[in-house]
Chains A and B, each alone.
Chain A
Amino acid sequence: MEPLIQVRNLHYSYPDGTPALRGVNFELWPAETVAVLGANGSGKTTFLLHLLGLVGGKSEGDVTVRGLAVEKKNLTKIRRMIGMLFQDSDDQLFMPTVEEDVAFGPLNMGLAPAEVERRVRQSLRQVGMEHVGSRPPYHLSAGEKRRVALAGVLAMSPEMILLDEPSTFLDPPARSSLVEILRSLPQAQCLVTHDLTLARQLASRAVYFEKGEITLQGGVDDVIAQAGWEAPDGRRSGVLR
């Protein structure tokens, strides 16, 4: 079996010369969920953006998605295979209505209008948001926005999903609802989070970023313990402080 995503010795520096990624090696396998943990500024989001070819500037190393190198000529195919849920849903929801926003990806894929409408209905139903189709996205709550943003990703039928801090800004009910939806998805998922409970609920393994390097990997509990992220009194801490 081939990994869906394979990263070998990836190095990247920001345009000002600050190193962001230093020799990252990573694999994502079908149907698994990997938690990507690490402190702020450790390179997690930059790493995710690399998988979609969204980072400008020069990088070294190999990044392949289903055997395709992440380079300009393959980006259209790669972006159809990978869906990404961004940290701030307001960055992701830019069309005038929810329906149009969810349809944005499928229309860009060149699908027929009937198929686009089918996918829009199906993905909104999948996240329980079929009743807001005609509403403007900016009037939705944070939880609703997150679910609509996820519908926009699902409408493209990706093979894998990258999630950047999906539980940020969500209240407990919205968070629980998101967990249920993410659990029900068959796609492989790469979950960047500080929310340890979420990592434990969804991921089967974890990697830990430190100053642009993956310094720990293994079971979620082991990585959390080795990273010293457990609460001092031995209780399982919910969110990293």
Chain B
Amino acid sequence: MHPLAFERWSAGETRHHQLDARVKLLAALGLLLVIAWTGRSSAAAFGGYFLLLTSFLWAARIPLAGSLLRTFMVLPFVAGVVILNLWGGDPARAILTMARGMFSAYTAIALLSTTPFPALMRGLERLRVPPFLIMVLHFVYRYLFLLTNQAQDMLRARRCRAPEPRRRSRFWSASAGAVAILFARGYNRAERIHHAMLARGFESHFPVMHARQTPSADWWWLAGVLVLMAAIHVAARTWPL
């Protein structure tokens, strides 16, 4: 999954992109909760969630195939639980776990592809998420690119000097050394960043530049989406498959 795809998608200018980030965050949180509550008896609700998310992405002009493909990124994380369920002779639970995981990923994709990262961070800030947590998220995102580039450079340099490692053990010891160096470089960079922050007057608090008012239409949108989610969930429970 390349984060640049989300950056490109989130730069759109549809009504869905322009919704306040807080509203989208709360809608995503609501949907994640109902997905978590959806059990075997209300499995039909997944069809409703699929329609809801797909219509949102379609209206925001986000490539549907690309979005759906990216939901598979969650599979390695749920694989363990799915295998255990299958091992325990409960394939229905395995499918339910996988569905919950993939729909949660689909929800996150819908949020990330319509909300630029800076707006997302501002939204979290305005939802009173602890500033320290936001700062960590922010730095992870900001410096992930740099660390990835550094890791790629080191890999290239290693390949230049050892195109075909003769012994597997040597390959692993070289990789472990590279990870250690990357960690040390990351630590040094963190120190330099901290110096740069202090030099511009940082005193353990991230100041905010804009404090935009949320249009009331955005809150109505949130209310509508939450009601729709609840309706899907209740309907699926009332008329199970």
A residues with a Cβ closer than 8 A to B are 49, 52, 54, 76, 79-80, 82-84, 86, 88, 90-92, 94, 96-97, 99-100, 103-105, 107-109, 113, 116-117, 136, 138, 152-153, 156
B residues with a Cβ closer than 8 A to A are 7, 117-118, 121, 138-139, 142, 145-146, 189, 192-193, 195-203, 207-209
Q: Are A91 and B201 in contact (CB under 8 A)?
A: no
Q: Are A86 and B203 in contact (CB under 8 A)?
A: no
CA distance A105 to B79 in the complex (A): 46
User: Provided the pairs A79-B198, A97-B118 are in contact, do residues A108 and B207 lie with their beta carbons within 8 angstroms?
Assistant: yes
Measured CB to CB, the closest approach of chain A to B68, in angstroms, equals 27
Q: Are A108 and B138 in contact (CB under 8 A)?
A: no
Q: Are B196 and A138 in contact (CB under 8 A)?
A: no
Interface residues of B: mostly helix, strand, loop or mixed?
helix
The A/B interface has a contact count, at CB < 8 Å, of 76
Partner of A96, one of B138, B192, B195, B207: B138
CA distance A80 to B199 in the complex (A): 8
Partner of B196, one of A86, A108, A109: A86
Measured CB to CB, the closest approach of chain B to A150, in angstroms, equals 12
CA distance A116 to B146 in the complex (A): 29
Across the interface, name the chain A residue whose C-beta is closest to B200: A105
User: Provided the pairs A91-B196, A107-B209 are in contact, do residues A76 and B201 lie with their beta carbons within 8 angstroms?
Assistant: yes
Question: Can you sample 6 A-B contacts with CB below 8 Å?
Answer: A94-B196, A96-B142, A105-B200, A109-B201, A113-B209, A117-B209
CA distance A156 to B199 in the complex (A): 11
CA distance A35 to B199 in the complex (A): 21
What residues of chain B lie closer than 8 Å to A108, measured between beta carbons? 200-203, 207
CA distance A108 to B138 in the complex (A): 18
User: Provided the pairs A97-B118, A100-B209, A113-B209 are in contact, do residues A156 and B189 lie with their beta carbons within 8 angstroms?
Assistant: no
What residues of chain B lie closer than 8 Å to A52, measured between beta carbons? 198-199
Measured CB to CB, the closest approach of chain B to A126, in angstroms, equals 17
